[in-house]
Structure 1
């Protein structure tokens, strides 16, 4: 079986408030972004998060992208950049090296096909990813909650309904300045338990910034913090 998805990025100002998203169907998609980034970073992050989210699947992956930069970078240019120590032919450092290095690792051992589609040309999956990436960028621009989506839900998986789980206690509402750091979509191994929590926006921004500085996913960084904290107790 092949997982078929579209990945897209959006930046309002380029650089500016930016979003990224991948989309399989209405029950399986994920979006996020930054307060300030470029469209290319959004395009790359959408693919990277899709790879990470589906890492435990044995299925092949087909990704529609409207960015020739992303496709060429991942299928043509990256081997040469790596040989030169992530330098271009002119000796300058490759842009977005952190994301590209993470993508190189995430692609290792995977069977992935990329196909270019023209943006804004009524391609159903591409349009859905674009809408969600733009919505994420707009949310960062306005300082509102980012519509992050359900994450990766394997085909055939039953999704929970409102009747399956008890609703949050309406007498204890979540503070408006509390937001999810990241939806829980990173691939979890057989010995891994997924935990989700809410933190103030300022804390979430700091976590994301520190993770980006290290070139890792915010969830990985948060897991490291929790692990170190438990070790010191």
Structure 2
């Protein structure tokens, strides 16, 4: 439990996102849930799911889950957003590493190009002007929201795998 998901009255958006790959690289899927919350009361809920039949990676699918969620958010009215993901690369990237990457021209501290720069730039653009807080949570540790998006992302990855086998 966390103060963002359970707390005093006040609107906030709570996002859980995940990605999955069959093989790495391989066909992949992603999913997210978006809940409009007022205190402990869920006002509305949206699911977004997508897949990539071409070879992709687990990290790209994790990032795609966050992108899909941010694309599906309601119009920005200043409502704070919490994004929960079980890939610490996504949360650390958005919380810690992004300013350095930008300052170094999208290079890491080791002066190598940032992997998946296209997706990082999209996450940056989609979160611009919003109050977004990124949280890491341990995957497969019994969090029901994470387990739900994990199942949705894996089902999308299976669909992507089936699409690659179509004649």
Calculate the TM-score normalised by the size of structure 2.
Answer: 0.81
Instruction: Report the CA distance between 1:43 and its aligned residue.
Output: 0.8
Judge conservation of contact 2:16–2:34 (CA < 8 Å) in 1: yes
Name the SS of the counterpart of 1:105 in structure 2: helix
Do structure 1's residue 16 and structure 2's residue 26 form an aligned pair?
yes
- Three-state SS of the structure 2 residue aligned to 1:88 is coil
Does the CA-based 8 Å contact 2:33-2:149 persist in structure 1?
yes
Q: What is the TM-score when the length of structure 1 is the normalising length? A: 0.59
What are the equivalent positions in structure 2 for 1:25-36 lying under 5 Å apart?
27-35=45-53, 36=55
Following the alignment from structure 1 to structure 2, what is the Cα–Cα distance between the partners of residues 92 and 70?
18
CA distance in 2: counterparts of 1:24 and 1:82, whole angstroms = 28
Is the 8 Å Cα contact of residues 24 and 125 (structure 1) preserved in structure 2? Answer: no
Q: Given the alignment, which residue of 135, 145, 148 partners 1:128?
A: 148
Aligned to 2:59: 40
- Aligned residue among 114, 118, 124 for 1:94: 114
How big is the alpha-carbon RMSD for the aligned residues of Structure 1 and Structure 2? 1.8
SS in 2 for 1:143: helix
SS in structure 2 opposite 1:64?
strand
Q: From the CA coordinates, give the structure whose radius of gyration is larger.
A: 1
Asked if 1:7 corresponds to 2:17, the answer is yes
- Return 95-104 or 52-61, whichever deviates more: 52-61
Total equivalences in the alignment: 145
